[in-house]
């Protein structure tokens, strides 16, 4: 889970356990997350299931091109293929951990990294989970922040497991 999302979620009273393969990405969460676990999300480090799992998936970050224009020159088609493979593996692992919901999010607007990854999944309407200011960017149950929102590009789905 990205540190910003973790901090907001914890500040709203959620019991948050943060997991990432990178200690550097977890470092800002020390003292803000009940527990921090460094592991590869493709193999669960947990024995129990959680009601909700937020999968802030590694992605091409094309939604952040406005702030990071070098992405246009750095990103190759093979990178996108590698990300989608990893995203599918992480989502499969998240399905084993979550009992009710998976929030799948990326900082990408690419359909290959979003709609194609969650295709066939039962979805809940993201608008039921976000505040009204954000809900105006929900279209057909999917949150898609675009440059017109004033924020980085971002996509989020709520997958309903029961």
Q: Which helix (H) or strand (E) holds 8?
A: helix 3-11
Is residue 78, in this structure, part of any structural domain at all?
A: yes
* pTM score of the predicted model: 0.90
The Cα 3–Cα 156 span in angstroms is: 16
pLDDT score at 28: 84
Is residue 25, in this structure, part of any structural domain at all?
A: no
The Cα 157–Cα 90 span in angstroms is: 15
> For the domain that residue 57 is a member of, what is the CATH number?
3.40.50.150
Is residue 29, in this structure, part of any structural domain at all?
A: no
Across 36-50, average pLDDT: 89
Is residue 16, in this structure, part of any structural domain at all?
A: no
Is residue 55, in this structure, part of any structural domain at all?
A: yes
Domain coverage including residue 124: 40-160
Catalytic residue ranges: 107
Interacting residues of 86 by C-beta distance below 8 A, sequence separation 6+? 42, 57, 58
pLDDT score at 1: 44
Sign of CA dihedral 83, 52, 42, 38: positive
Number of domains into which the chain is organized: 1
Is residue 156, in this structure, part of any structural domain at all?
A: yes
pLDDT digits (tens, 9 = 90+) for 51-66: 999 999 999 999 998 8
Q: Which two tokens stand for residue 14?
A: 């959620």
């Amino acid at each position: 889970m990205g540190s910003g999302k973790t901090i907001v979620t914890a500040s709203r009273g959620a019991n948050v356990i943060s997991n990432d393969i990178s200690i550097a990405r977890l470092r800002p969460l020390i003292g803000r997350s009940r527990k921090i676990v460094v592991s590869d999300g493709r193999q669960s480090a947990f024995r129990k299931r959680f009601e909700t799992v937020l999968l802030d998936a590694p992605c091409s970050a094309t939604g952040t091109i406005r702030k990071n224009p070098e992405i246009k020159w750095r990103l190759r088609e093979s990178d996108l293929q590698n990300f989608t493979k990893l995203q599918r593996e992480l989502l499969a692992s998240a399905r084993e951990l979550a009992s009710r919901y998976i929030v799948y999010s990326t900082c990408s607007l690419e359909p290959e990294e979003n709609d194609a990854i969650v295709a066939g999944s039962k979805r809940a309407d993201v608008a039921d989970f976000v505040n009204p200011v954000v809900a105006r960017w929900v279209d057909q149950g999917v949150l898609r922040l675009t440059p017109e929102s004033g924020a980085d590009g971002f996509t989020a789905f709520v997958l309903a497991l029961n």
